[in-house]
Structure formats: C-alpha cells, structure tokens
Amino acid sequence: MPFDFRTSDVNRATRRGPDGHASEGSGGLRVVPLDPIDAHDRWDGFLRSHTDALIYHHPLWLRVLERSFGYEVEGLAVEDSAGRLEGVLPLATRRDRRGRESLSSLPHTPIAGPLGRDQHAVIALMNAAVNRVTSGPKGHLLIKVEAPLTNGPSEKLLVVRWDATYSRELPRRLEDLRFGDSRNHGTIARGVRKAEREGLEVRRATTIEDVRRWYPLYLEAMRAHAVPPRPLRFFEIAWEMLAEPGLMRLLLAEKTERRQRVPVAGSIFFTFGCTVFFAFNGRSESALPLRPNDAIHWQALADACRAGFRRFDFGEVSQSQHGLASYKKKWGAKPIPLHRYYYPKIGLGGRILRSESPAHKIAARVWQRLPLVVTESVGKALYR
C-alpha cells in the first residue's frame, strides 16, 4: 500500500516574507513525493537557494548512486500552499527478498539529510520518511545529519553520535587564507616548496583516462587505511555525470619519470553551493616524502577561495585515526560531530562496528598485507 502523504501535512501556518520564503502566518505546508531526477530543475533550483545545500543533495549525485550501485532513487519535499518548495529529502531504496525496504539518505555518502527553510520543514520530512518505511513490510531507515534536531522528530528514531567531519571556513580573499599560526603556516609552505623542488606538478585532470591512471593509487591508499575500495566503475560514472557540470574535480600530483609524467598522488573533490568536499585520495607510499598531498591541498584550497566557496570539508575521521585527524587540523579544519538517525531503534547502537574495536584492528592488520588485486576484488563484491 503506497504511503498517503496527506497524513504528513505540517500543522503550522505560513505567509510569504519579503525574501519569498515561508514564515508564520496563514496557509500551510505539506509533504509530497518528488522524484529528484524527474524534477531535476525544480529540485536543483531549491538547492541553489539554500546555503546549506551540498553536492550530496544534488540529483546528479543520486544518479551516480543509482547507476553505480543499483539503488532506487526517490525523494520527499515540503511544499507551501502555492506549491513552492520549502524542503527536500533525497532517499535511496533497496529491497530484500521479502520485499522489506532499506531506506537511506544516503548510502555511500557522508551526509545528506533533510534540507529545509526551517526546523518545521525538516522535522516534517523526517517524520514522513518514518511513515514511508513503516507503511509497508517492516523495513529500515537511516538518515545522516550534522547536528541532531532540538525538537526531535518521531520517537521511533534512534539518534547516534557518529564520527566527526573536519571542516574550515574560507576567507573571501585568497591573500587572507592562513593555516593556523605563523609556525604551522610556514611548515605547510615549506612542504609545498619541497614538492616543487622535487619536480612535482599539480594539475587538474581532464579525461576519464586520468581517473583510471589515478585508481591504482587509490587502491594503495585504501589498503593502508584498511578500508574496502570503491570499484573503478563508481569513479568512472561519477566523472561522466559530475565533471562536465563542474561538480567534481581530480587534482593530480605528477613527477617526471623516464621523460613521462607519472601520477604519484591525486585527490577527488566534489563542489556545490558554498562547500568543497575532499572526498577521495590516492597516493604511492614511496612518494609520501615528496609531500604530494600538501601540494594538492594547497592548490585545492587556493582554487576554492578564488571560486568563491565559503567552506572546505576535509571529510570524516574515525576516533582511532589520530594521524589523519592531525593532518586535517594543520589546515585549520575543526571537528564537527555528525549524527545518524536509525529506525528501528532496537539494538542498532550496540551493533555498530567501530574502527577502534579490537576486531577491526585485527582485520586491518590482515587487510594491509593483501595484494591490491585482492582488495580491489573484495571491494567490488562488497559494493555490489
């Protein structure tokens, strides 16, 4: 039985303010189904009007998930009485053999929870998602947010504090971009100069062949971090969907070997709205003394300032990854705890395998000794 979205009307009045957004007054809001891909222009238009919108809310990112992993993509939206959007929530669905749904916002994504003009719209979207997953055969729901809601949504949801993402604000002028105190800033600058002296050059990738040349470096990095790698197909689809509209870029650090430019490190960044996300890194272990990642991030942060972005997100770090946390802090990034809402509540918090657990540490030591071709095969199997 399909969910009756009329039961998700938001019981508050609204009027249009000078900025065209909903505020207290006459009228009402309601939650409706809205396919982000079919309604691309309408969905994208709302995102571009909201300062907190991320690449992970974008219809093209949903298409990447759909094509790469086989998810069914859908969405919920809050409309005012005139049909104008006041909030959106992207969702990806998978069904098991019994027809039970697993609903997520979003899988393989650090954060992509509800986006609304105000908390009323956000809570309405959260409650509608719960109703969506409980209206049929019993299923599961996961919603990833930054901060938990103060006047929480459905009591059926369990909220869990997750890993922190490391983020920093960007100045409006490039000349004002600093990395901590003068000592720390000078250390980074010396690392970048060392990369230049060693003959490293950072350039922006231009073809899908650049992505394929970068992928073995990514496999090596994921093995070192004891993380199953995403399949090459995911990065090829992401490049096809996101690179041309300017939502994805790959910066490569290259060194001349036998008269050819060879990549020794590279990082993928996703960009939308006010935020740049550092998403994936690949590097050769033997090239780390050349400081290629410092050169890449120096370039990426400078590019972000020039392009007018206001926030640079360095990504999640688990509690056990102290070295990775220190690396991100040196760029002026500060930890921001993320949170996850789960349905159903029962036992989910205790069953989450954290990266600091003894079992994970043992598995990591085994993983780091595997050949890259094996880690690639395991990653393909897991993500399939």
348 — phi, psi (to 5°)?
-65, -40
Least confident of 12-16, 47-51, 94-98: 12-16
Residue 21 has pLDDT above 60, yes or no: no
- Please indicate whether residue 352 or residue 264 has the higher confidence score (pLDDT): 264
Contact between 61 and 92 (Cβ < 8 Å) = no
Domains of the chain: 5-156 (3.40.630.30), 166-337+362-383 (3.40.630.30)
Q: What's the whole-number mean pLDDT along residues 140-152?
A: 88
How far apart CA 264 and CA 213 sit, in angstroms, is 10
- The confidence score (pLDDT) of residue 258 equals 83
Residues whose CB is less than 8 angstroms from the CB of residue 159 and which lie 6 or more positions away in sequence, other chains included: 148, 152, 339, 340, 341, 342
Least confident of 2-16, 140-154, 162-176, 281-295: 2-16
What residue ranges in 153-196 does DSSP mark as E strands?
158-169
Residue 8 banded pLDDT, cuts 50, 70, 90:
very low
Residue 355 banded pLDDT, cuts 50, 70, 90:
low
- The confidence score (pLDDT) of residue 171 equals 95
How far apart CA 16 and CA 24 sit, in angstroms, is 8
Name the average pLDDT for the chain. 86
- The confidence score (pLDDT) of residue 274 equals 95
Least confident of 15-29, 61-75, 191-205, 290-304: 15-29
Query: Which tokens belong to 274?
Result: 């006010």
Residue 10 has pLDDT above 60, yes or no: no
Question: What are the tens digits of pLDDT across the range 169-222?
Answer: 999 999 999 998 889 999 999 999 999 999 999 999 999 999 999 999 999 999
Question: What are the tens digits of pLDDT across the range 229-268?
Answer: 999 999 999 999 999 999 999 999 999 888 889 999 999 9
Question: What are the tens digits of pLDDT across the range 77-111?
Answer: 999 988 999 999 999 998 777 767 789 999 999 99
